[in-house]
Amino acid sequence: MEIKDNNLDRIYRRNYGFWNEQEQEKINNSKIAIAGVGGDGFQLGIKLAMMGVKNFSVADPEEFERENSNRVFGAKISTYGKNKAEVFKDMVLDIHPDAKIEVFNDGVTEDNVEEFLKDSDLLLDESELRYLKIGTMLARTARKMVIPDLMVMNIGFSSIATSFNPKPSWNQSTFESVMGIPKGMPIDEVNSVEVDFSKCLPYVPSYGDIRSLKAVQEGASLPSITQGVDVASALGSTEAFFHLTSGLNNNRRKPTWAPKFRYMDAYNGESGIIRGSRVSHYMGLVAIAGRSLLGMNPRASYSQEDRDRREK
């Protein structure tokens, strides 16, 4: 590939110390579908745009609110009340004026899911666990269209990531099996399934407050902080890099396929690959419960009483 000396190519010059021109070309020519840009998805997508991705399908029916600005740099006074996907589009165009970004501001639906994924090289499913119907619909369509499905979640100061192979081998898992969704369940019944956290949340930070976990189990929104979202964007964009540059024979590692998970924690410096999700999950719960009981962990403010008091 011939690299011309112009302003556009100057964006990537420092990339070439860690990846080559052929990999950059592959990134530039890739298309990413992002379902959900309210947290991890927004930061992750902007990271990918900074890497050189200029083709996106982005879906999100929600608008930015003040409560998003604790963790998403797209949420600010000037964007409150604006559709999240539209804000993402504007920010990417500010980086790459020639970018092509298709916005689905009604979110992903049964009517548009194939159009949303059309010609994509990778799906980033950031639709959140409370929307299992959407995640399942995306996963099934991605398999049909032979598109890898990358899922990234932040937990405290940490993040986990895994991908679902569109052609899974005997020792790889599908989205449905990780979430505890019976094989072949009609899509309209999926939201009745209770998420199996022991399979999809293998890393539980030992420094957390057990009361926050209890609050989530009782229906509270998943807590989220900027450090966790930033770690998620770094980990997720790295996994995306492995997907996009696969096949170029440059001695790169392979993406992390489910049931394996990669994790990184900025708080305690831990990182690695988790192979036994349930064992790891329950070991984490035991550790956090024991440390909390002994008064060794920092205390958060996420109990029902705390949340009710802040609503007054």
The DSSP element (H or E) to which 138 belongs, if any, is helix 132-144
pLDDT number for residue 7: 46
For residues 56 and 33, the answer to whether their CB atoms sit within 8 Å is yes
Name residue, tokens 């949303």.
116
| pTM, rounded to two decimals | 0.92
Rounded Cα distance between 167 and 92, Å, is 31
Task: Using DSSP bridges, classify how beta strands 100-104 and 122-125 pair: parallel, antiparallel or unpaired.
Answer: unpaired
pLDDT in tens, 180-220: 898 889 999 988 888 888 888 999 999 988 888 888 877 77
CATH of the domain at 58: 3.40.50.720
The residues, any chain, with a CB within 8 Å of residue 230's CB and separated by 6 or more, are 43, 266
In a domain, 171, yes or no: yes
In a domain, 2, yes or no: no
User: Measuring CA to CA, which residue among 41, 65, 70, 45 is closest to residue 55?
Assistant: 45
In a domain, 205, yes or no: no
pLDDT in tens, 87-130: 999 999 999 999 999 999 999 999 999 999 999 999 999 987 87
Q: Residue 3, Cβ neighbours under 10 Å: how many?
A: 12
Residue 230 has pLDDT above 50, yes or no: yes
**Reported confidence tier of residue 131, pLDDT bands at 50, 70, 90:** confident
Question: What is the domain count for the chain?
Answer: 1
The residues, any chain, with a CB within 8 Å of residue 65's CB and separated by 6 or more, are 75, 80, 81
Rounded Cα distance between 117 and 98, Å, is 21
In a domain, 279, yes or no: no
pLDDT number for residue 192: 87
Rounded Cα distance between 26 and 141, Å, is 24
Tokens of 267: 């708080």
In a domain, 234, yes or no: yes
Residue 158 has pLDDT above 90, yes or no: yes
Give the range of the structural domain holding residue 230, as residue numbers without chain letter: 7-196+223-274
In a domain, 208, yes or no: no
In a domain, 304, yes or no: no
Q: How many residues does the chain have?
A: 312
Give the CA distances from residue 273 to residues 111, 259, 266, 286, in Å, rounded to whole numbers and listed in that order: 37, 10, 15, 20
**Reported confidence tier of residue 8, pLDDT bands at 50, 70, 90:** low
In a domain, 215, yes or no: no
Rounded Cα distance between 255 and 241, Å, is 9
**Reported confidence tier of residue 10, pLDDT bands at 50, 70, 90:** confident
Question: Does residue 97 sit in helix, strand or coil?
Answer: coil
Exposed/middle/buried for residue 126 (C-beta within 10 Å: 0-12, 13-18, 19+): buried
